[in-house]
């Protein structure tokens, strides 16, 4: 019934306070620059194969899902959001805050912004 099933955590997010807030800021930024109101961009989204093959991301960083979601929605794709439970990892640490990942996320944000700007100016 939709092109994408997008999970979000709701109030039961068990991740560290810092990670929750960074995710909220990232989601707010992507929603502002894309014009959408998605609750969470970095979960394990279920996509139709066709959309993934057609709208692959331009990044290798942690923001690849945001790029695909925004591309599909720009082409009038549909979505459903589903709340899921999330538990923080018990061992190890996040690799999201390494410099190469931060740069990749900034690149994705810029790509999403420029794509939206082109659409507003030229279409």
Dump pLDDT digits (tens) for 63-91.
889 999 999 999 999 999 999 887 767 77
Of 20, 14, 2, whose CA–CA distance to 96 is shortest?
A: 20
**Token digits of residue 109:** 């944000």
> What is the C-alpha separation between 30 and 23, in angstroms, rounded?
11
Element at 20 (helix H, strand E): helix 17-34
pLDDT block averages, 10 residues each, the chain of length 123:
92 79 94 95 91 80 89 94 81 78 91 92 85
Secondary structure class of 83 (helix, strand, coil) = strand
**Token digits of residue 68:** 């695909």
Residue 73: CB partners within 8 Å, gap ≥ 6? 34, 36, 79
């Amino acid at each position: 019934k939709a092109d994408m099933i997008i999970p979000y955590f709701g109030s039961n997010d068990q991740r560290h306070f810092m990670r929750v807030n960074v995710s909220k800021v990232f989601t707010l930024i992507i929603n502002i620059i894309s014009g959408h109101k998605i609750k969470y961009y970095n979960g394990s989204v279920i996509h139709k194969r066709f959309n993934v093959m057609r709208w692959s991301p331009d990044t290798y960083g942690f923001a690849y899902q945001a790029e695909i979601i925004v591309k599909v929605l720009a082409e009038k794709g549909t979505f459903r959001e589903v709340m899921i439970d999330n538990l923080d990892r018990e061992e190890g640490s996040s690799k999201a805050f390494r410099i190469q990942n931060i740069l990749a996320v900034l690149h994705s944000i810029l790509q999403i912004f420029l794509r939206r700007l082109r659409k507003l100016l030229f279409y």
